[in-house]
Structure 1
Amino acid sequence: MDNLTHSLVGWALAETGLKRRTRKGLAATVLAANLPDIDVFFGWVPWPPLAMHRGFTHGLIGGVLVLPPVLAILLWLLDRWQARRGRLADDSPPMRFGWLLALCWIGALTHPLLDLQNVYAIQLLSPASARWFHTDGLFIISPWLLAMLGLGIWRARRHGRRQPAILALAGTALFIGGNIGISALAWAAPTRDAPYAAPDRIFAGPEPLLFWRRDVVWRQNGFIVQGRYDPLRRLEGLVDVGAPMADRMQEPLVRRAAQATAPARKFLAWSQMPVARVEQGHCRAVVTFGDARFTGPAMSRNFNAVVTLPVDGAGCGGG
């Protein structure tokens, strides 16, 4: 999810009364709710679980167990520094490190729970497993969640009561739960009705505003198929199905390109439904790797990796 949503969830948690448990309570929940995204600064490291965005820092070990104590210690040191210089508000609650640590853990837990909801997925068990998990319950930026959380926080602060924040969080949980149920129906739709598919991998990406609609993409026997699901039009079937498209990932030239460069290897380690386009030229071939999750009409943001390979041919030299 976007960092504004992560921040609002942490803020709403604080407004339920948790921020009064210790000094730096609000900072703990908001910063911890964003903490796993620190991995964007470590793409250069040689350890793949950390270099991979939504890998180690988004898992139960790195993001939920390891990072929160680090944040709690930093906030505690900041508080001591401010106390020595007399920069603490007179009406601030006492510093309770146990509560500070608990709030960091609570805030950090919300991050993988939210990121789990969209088709980008997370490596929840990293580094023990590189498996990607997803529920497809939310678009990467949900205006519905932003409005719900923002209203709850505003009313909680305006009236000095925690109930609006609690209701906003409860509404968020119900909204996500309902959308997971819709995605489960969308996953089943290609198998229950035409084209009666048997996917080995399937995603159902929600739309941002019309949240009940899904862009469905699945892989079967080396082919990618895209469709659309709308439970208001057809509950157990797709409303539109595209023609199968070969992913070309088993072609010798594509397999060679997949190992040819570090960016290609890194992209394919992240990609969960890779596809390849091959442009054959004189003495060279250009292989473009994409991800079928993001090549549909509504999922148009294009992530790719391009590899140029020399090929044998008349007049190409060598051989």
Structure 2
Amino acid sequence: MDSLTQLVLGASVSMAVMGRAARPAKAAAWGALAGTLPDLDVLIDQGDPILDMVLHRAESHALFWLTLFSLPFALAVARWHGETDRWRRWWAALWLALVTHPLLDLLTIYGTQVLLPFTNQAWGLGSVFIIDPMVTVPWAVGVVAALRAASPERARRANVVGLSLGLAYLGWGAAVQQHVLAKARDSLRAQGLPAEQVLATPTPFNSVLWRVVSVGNGQFHEGFHSLLDGPGPIRFDRFDQGRPLAQALQAHDGLTRIRRFSDGFWALQAHPDGQLLLSDLRMGQQPHYVFRFAIARRDEATGTWLPMARAESAGSRAPFAPSVSWLWRRMGGVPVAPPR
């Protein structure tokens, strides 16, 4: 999730655990810091944009390493405030603020390596968009109300209410995702399309309109389903995944990494300028993807693809005004085609 959401979640859980053992402002400040720390790995330059992508949310998001770090961190905080008699409470609060960060990230589609060093498998459930005000606002309002409350009891109540509302919304998103996946698989089968490898993830800032992607037989299919749609199957557009292009680059490290990191939701496209573009299909929508990389150039003399020494970022975002207009109408159940 975005940094603000992680900050207010860390503050909220820290205040909830510390209770009367620490002033709300103090508990919130340390919890906010703990909730932000895992994302500092973005400051590490891996030397290649593909590596920057697949190595984000790695060791700094691993439950094992965060748990080990939480103990000296909590001891240092307790000693700083002269509260060594409460170090166990600080440990519980800061451990929870740290580990809820990757657990929340798990609900997005990006991919989080929570079980390092035991496995580097990246998991992303995709039941919430990476920025969703319906998650952030209840937590932020609860934290602010708690900090301004006239009594500890009112502070606790405000924080718990805000925390609970945000968690309830996350539960709602997970339930809706299963509903959309079931409808998507039924729609794909009814149209004779591959239904074995399917993802459903919400479109930006909401949980009403969902994007569905199916991969199979060298193609991928993209469709959209709103909870306000009328009866009938989801309509899908078909696109080539570019598997023949991948044959020429079997040993390419970046291609291998993205194919694994995306759990098979990738595509290759030969661009007219002579570059070969690799896209992670999970984030964005056709033809605009946040994570797209130029990984090879065409040799005009031989017609073969020559791997680039270093991948180049080639991600793009859809034009803002047409996209917002389409998103709003499509959320309302109007069957308009997405901007291409």
TM-score normalised by the chain length of structure 2: 0.73
Alpha-carbon distance, 1:268 to partner: 4.6
Opposite residue 217 of structure 1, the aligned amino acid is V
Q: Does 2:229 match 1:229?
A: no
With over 3 angstroms needed to count, the CA separation of the structure-2 counterparts of 1:22 and 1:156, relative to structure 1, is closer
Candidates 120, 131, 135, aligned match of 1:130: 120
Describe how 1:262-277 pairs up with structure 2 within 5 A: 266-272=257-263, 273-277=265-269
Structure 1: runs of 5 or more not aligned: 84-92
* CA distance in structure 2 between the partners assigned to 1:314 and 1:214 by the alignment: 43
Match of 2:160 in 1: 166
Q: Cα offset for 1:143? A: 1.1
Cα distance in 2 for partners of 1:59, 1:172 equals: 23
CA RMSD of aligned residues (A): 3.4
The aligned residue for residue 236 of structure 2 is 241
* Residue 33 (structure 2) aligns with: 31
- The CA distance in 2 between the partners of 1:276 and 1:315, in whole Å, is 16
Letter in 2 for 1:166: V
Letter in 2 for 1:204: A
CA distance in 1, matches of 2:303, 2:35: 59
1:96-146 CA-partner distances (Å, limit 9, x unpaired) = 222222111111121122111111132232332233323322111111122
Which residue of 98, 107, 115 corresponds with 2:97?
107
Q: In percent, how many aligned pairs have the same letter?
A: 22
**Could you tell me how far 1:183 is from its partner in structure 2?**
0.7
Give secondary structure in 1 for the equivalent of 2:198.
strand
User: 159, 173, 177: which is aligned to 2:171?
Assistant: 177
Question: Partner residue of 2:55?
Answer: 52
- Is the CA contact (8 Å cut-off) linking 1:58 and 1:111 kept in structure 2? yes
Distance 1:100 1:232, change over 3 A: same
CA shift, 1:21, in A, is 2.5
Aligned position for 1:89: none
1:19: Cα distance to partner? 5.5
Report matched runs for 1:189-200 at 5 Å. Answer: 189-193=183-187, 194-195=190-191, 197-200=193-196
Counterpart contact for 2:220–2:240, Cα < 8 Å: yes
Separation (CA, whole Å) in 2 of partners of 1:140 and 1:50: 15
Q: Which amino acid aligns with 1:230?
A: S
Q: Which stretch shifts more, 117-126 or 93-102?
A: 93-102
Please point out which of 42, 56, 77 is paired with 1:75.
77
Contact 1:224/1:292 (8 A) holds in 2: no
- Encode CA deviations 1:151-171: one digit per residue, 9 max, x unaligned: 222222222321111011111
Q: How many residues align?
A: 293
In 1, are the aligned partners of 2:11 and 2:30 still within 8 Å (CA)?
no
Pair 1:143 & 2:133 matched: yes
- Conserved 8 A contact 2:57-2:113: yes
Query: Which moves more between the two structures, 118-127 or 93-102?
Result: 93-102
Q: Could you state the TM-score of these two structures normalised by the residue count of structure 1?
A: 0.78
Measured after TM superposition, the shift of residue 237 of structure 1 is: 4.2
Cα displacement (A) at 1:176: 0.6
Q: Give the alignment partner of residue 307 of structure 1, picking from 282, 295, 299.
A: 295
CA contact (8 A) 1:32 1:104 kept: yes
Does the residue aligned with 1:293 lie in a helix, a strand or coil? coil
Structure having the higher Rg: 1
**Distance in structure 2 (CA, Å) of the matches to 1:172 and 1:142:** 10
